[in-house]
Amino acid sequence: MESGDLGDIVVWGNNGDQYQSAVSKDMLFDWDDEDLLSSYGTDIEKYFSDAVDANKKLNSDGKVYGIGNNVSNESGQHDLFIYDWGTRWDLYEQLGHPEVKNLDDLESVLKKMQALCPSGDDGKQTYAVSIWPDWDGNMVMYVKALASAYYGYDELGIGMYDSSNGDFYDCLSENGPYLKSLKFFNQLYRDGLLDPDSMTQTYDTMIAKVRSGDVLFSIFNYAGSTAYNTSAHISANKYMASLVPTDANVIVNGLSTAGGSRIWSIGSKTVYPEKAMQLINWLCTPEGAMTNWYGPKGLMWDYDDQGNTYFTDLGKKCIADSSTDLTGVEWTSPYTGKTYTLDGTFNDGSFQFNNTTWAQGAKNPDSNNECFASSTWASMKGDAKNDTEKDWRSYTNSDSSQDYLDSVNHTTIPAVNYAETTRDNELELKWQQVIKAIKQGSWNAIYAKDDASFASIVDSMRSECKGYGYDDCVTWCKSEAAAKYALQQK
């Protein structure tokens, strides 16, 4: 932003003030300029016309500067559940499937699991949960995420938003969802169930521990079951599977033909707007999206005679373990007819940006009405992979985590074309001081030695935030919640 040149393809984490500032300062390319969209974005116009219109409405000048993420070709669908409450089911089975009604029950079960399995594959101590600070935003990410996964509220500003009625709970409200979630992590720490490295480690360090079996539970599928359920663990009859407390209200994002808030855009100073548009357009084709997630068609996945999607043997291996070495594998391009020899790992070839075009929960128009998500394909719903998964299927009466999560109590967060109002300079200064205090205070509270220390740290955090202008920040959040709820009603 300071240099005035954002680069060629620019991905935004949300459509709030930073994106809007870039629009107002002419830092983004108008997609109608030089007929860029109509000439080089024909698939975007074909599949994502509502997303284009939504971006026009978002911008005060009515021009098109991009499209949102997670677009669906049909309304009324919801995306994949990412809060899958993945738990070491082989250990849960050994315990005799004790009831898990609430977070207290979950902690008790995790404590017993740790006693059954005190060390991972690498001989290091196991912990129930391992979290990380890399992704903290306005609050501590994992604490906020548990509040969403358990209470059914979505994140908004410095608190949680109830999409059913528009209520807003600021994160420091007494007995609010954020502080209840924070207390849960503190209790885990005091019981020796929280990885003590959590406050200082990176995501990469954490996920390596999950793969090594040092972590027994994760509310996220990607930081739990997806990483843990390797072929080696499956062969050893170990398995991480969903176990949602019966009192929980899991949230899942609704899908929209207008897309979400993570915007794909093109920098106004790029020398190659046509190439940038061609690449974004390719990602908006079904094959481009599939290649992004699963690798080249024909080599790693394909469609059968009925149009159902399936993995090749190599594709299955790569999806099970992204570190699979592809050195020496040959692939013939259907575009050029040339044969190429691959190098590196599957992960090396994967796209590293944190954004999507199509939603994985959307239906793939190139298939037989299947979703993009491999976990929903008919070809992936075969027999249980081992006896532990067989036990999970019998216990939950489900054949996939997505089917199970659809059957439990959950809330679909409506997809609306909402963008945060830009905070003025005075409020933004207060905001930055407040969120810094929230994050530091929250981490300190997680590591509190007892209830008295926890309460004292929270009181100090609340007092510090109040001094920075917390009440003004909450007032802004309540106004945003009301605006978002009004959009839902429309």
Alpha helices (runs of H) in 397-450, residue ranges in sequence order: 401-407, 425-446
Overall average pLDDT of the 218-241 stretch: 95
Domain end, chosen from 326, 345, 364, is at 345
Residue 287 near residue 20, CB atoms below 8 Å:
no
Read off the pLDDT of residues 109-128 as tens digits, 9 standing for 90 and up. Answer: 999 999 999 999 999 999 99
Query: In the predicted model, what is the mean pLDDT of residues 297-309?
Result: 96
For the entire predicted model, the pTM comes to 0.82
Does residue 391 fall inside a structural domain? Answer: yes
Place 444 in a pLDDT band, splitting at 50, 70 and 90. Answer: very high
If phi > 0 it is left, if psi is from -120 to 50 it is alpha, else beta; for residue 7 that is left
Report whether pLDDT(417) > 80: no
Residue at 429 is within a domain: yes
What is the rounded average pLDDT for all residues in the chain?
95
**7-40 pLDDT per residue, tens:** 999 999 989 889 999 999 999 999 999 999 999 9
pLDDT at 320: 81
Distances (CA, A) of 123 to 115, 117, 119, 189: 14, 11, 5, 21
Q: Give me the phi and psi of 412, to 5 degrees please.
A: -90, 120
| pLDDT, tens only, 386-409 | 999 999 999 999 988 999 999 999
Residue 30, CB-side half-sphere exposure with 13 Å CA sphere? 12
273 versus 319: the higher-pLDDT residue is 273
Q: Is the pLDDT of residue 321 over 90?
A: no
Same domain, yes or no: 397 and 443 = no
Q: Is the pLDDT of residue 381 over 90?
A: no
* Distance (Å) of CA 196 to CA 125, 447, 455: 11, 8, 20
| Lowest pLDDT segment from 187-201, 317-331, 469-483 | 317-331
Q: Residue 132 — φ and ψ, nearest 5°?
A: -150, 150
Residue 473 has pLDDT above 90, yes or no: yes
- What is the structure's pLDDT at 335? 87
Q: What is the pLDDT of residues 72-86, one digit of tens each?
A: 988 778 888 999 999
User: Looking at the structure, do residues 451 and 389 belong to the same domain, yes or no?
Assistant: no
Whether residues 158 and 302 share a domain: the answer is no
| Position 207 in a domain | yes
Is residue 8 domain-resident?
no
Number of domains in the chain: 3
Q: Check whether residue 189 and residue 149 sit in a common domain.
A: yes
- CA-only gyration radius of the chain, Å: 23
* DSSP codes of every residue in 238-267: --EEE---TT--EEEEBPBTT--S--EEEB
- Listed residues 308, 327, 345: the one ending a domain: 345
160 vs 458: CA distance, rounded Å? 18
Given pLDDT bands bounded at 50, 70 and 90, which one contains residue 447? very high
Q: Is residue 127 part of a domain?
A: yes
Using one digit for the tens of pLDDT, what is the confidence trace for 345-380? 999 988 888 899 999 999 999 999 899 999 889 898
- SS3 percent helix, strand, coil of the chain, rounded to 5, is 45, 15, 45
* Strand runs labelled E in 182-247: 217-220, 240-242
39 domain-assigned: no
Note the pLDDT of residue 382.
82
Q: Which residue has the higher pLDDT, 465 or 487?
A: 465
List the domain range (segments joined by +) for residue 479: 425-489
C-alpha span between 254 and 242 (Å, rounded): 21
85, 244 in Cβ contact below 8 A?
A: yes
Measuring CA to CA, how many Å separate 315 from each of 173, 301, 323, 402, 442? 48, 6, 12, 21, 41
Residue 97 shares a structural domain with residue 137:
yes
pLDDT at 476 over 80: yes
Parallel, antiparallel, or unpaired: how do β-strands 309-311 and 154-156 relate? unpaired
Dihedral sign for Cα 282, 286, 290, 291, please: negative
* pLDDT of 418 over the 90 cut: no
Q: Indicate if 161 and 132 belong to the same structural domain.
A: yes
For residues 108 and 210, membership in a common domain is answered with yes
The residue-averaged pLDDT of 315-321 equals: 89
247 & 385 share domain:
yes
The CATH number linked to 145 is 3.40.190
Residues 169 and 208 in one domain: yes
Looking at the structure, tell me whether residues 387 and 242 fall in a common domain. yes
Amino acid at 85: W
Residue 415 has pLDDT above 90, yes or no: no
Q: Please check whether residue 195 lies inside any domain of the structure.
A: yes
Is there a single domain that holds both residue 124 and residue 236? Answer: yes
What is residue 312's predicted lDDT score, i.e. its pLDDT?
97
- CB neighbours of 467 closer than 8 A, spacing ≥ 6? none
pLDDT of 338 higher than 80: yes
Confidence (pLDDT) at 74: 83
Neighbouring-strand partners of residue 155: 160
Q: What is the pLDDT of residues 339-349, one digit of tens each?
A: 999 999 999 98
One domain, residues 219 and 141: yes
Token look-up 């997609």 returns 31
Residue 128 CA: distances (Å) to CA of 136, 150, 214: 21, 17, 8
- Given a contact cutoff of 8 angstroms between Cβ atoms, the answer to whether 400 and 375 are in contact is yes
Beta strands in 210-338 (DSSP E): 217-220, 240-242, 250-253, 264-266, 301-303, 309-311, 330-332
Tokens of 333: 């391009």
| Chain Cα centroid distance, residue 142 | 11
Work out the average pLDDT over 284-300: 95
Structural domain contains residue 268:
no
Please give the backbone phi and psi of residue 14, each rounded to the nearest 5 degrees, phi first.
-160, 175
Q: Which of 383, 413, 443 is the last residue of a domain?
A: 413
